[in-house]
Amino acid sequence: MAGFVGRYEHSLDTKGRVILPAKFRAQFERGGYLTQNSEGCLALWTPGEFERQMQAMQERADAGRSDRNRARIWASNSAEVEIDRQGRMPIPAHLRAFAGLEAEVLVHGAIDRVELWNPAAWAERVLPEESWLLEGDGD
């Protein structure tokens, strides 16, 4: 797999579902896993990558209490999701609230995962960095 790339703008429907871009759907034929991301967005993982993330989390959790609590929080705030035939993916209410997803959703590839952002949060947190990257470092 080459990884997830690209940026797409979609809307939540009245049932809290978002359309997963057709380009990403093949990787989620067996479903996927939504998790909270420390940046304030949601991360959508393929089953295989979610398994790798869980294994890494478990290895860190074996090291100490704070890492065990971090693993507990991560696991309890994760949700298994299915993509329907129309490409719609339900987003549980607690995850929509965490990411501030109310109407519009920015869906983009983040190499090893797909991220779902509130467009205003994306503009505030990521776009200033994007401008800096496009300018280069002056060399």
**Contact between 115 and 6 (Cβ < 8 Å):** no
Mean pLDDT, range 56-75, rounded to an integer:
85
DSSP 20: P
- Does residue 34 form part of some domain? yes
- Does residue 2 form part of some domain? no
- Does residue 49 form part of some domain? yes
- Does residue 44 form part of some domain? yes
- Does residue 1 form part of some domain? no
pLDDT of residue 134: 55
CATH number at residue 39: 3.40.1550.20
How many domains does the chain contain in total? 1
Nearest to 118 by CA among 133, 130, 139, 102: 102
**pLDDT per residue over 66-124, tens digit each?**
888 888 888 999 999 999 999 999 999 999 999 999 999 999 999 999 999 999 999 98
Q: Is 8 helix (H, G, I), strand (E, B) or coil?
A: strand
- Does residue 52 form part of some domain? yes
Rounded alpha-carbon distances, angstroms, from residue 1 to 24, 44, 113: 11, 16, 12
- Does residue 54 form part of some domain? yes
pLDDT of residue 19: 97
**Contact between 56 and 45 (Cβ < 8 Å):** no
Whole-prediction pTM: 0.87
Domain that holds residue 72: 7-135
Tokens of 138: 């002056």
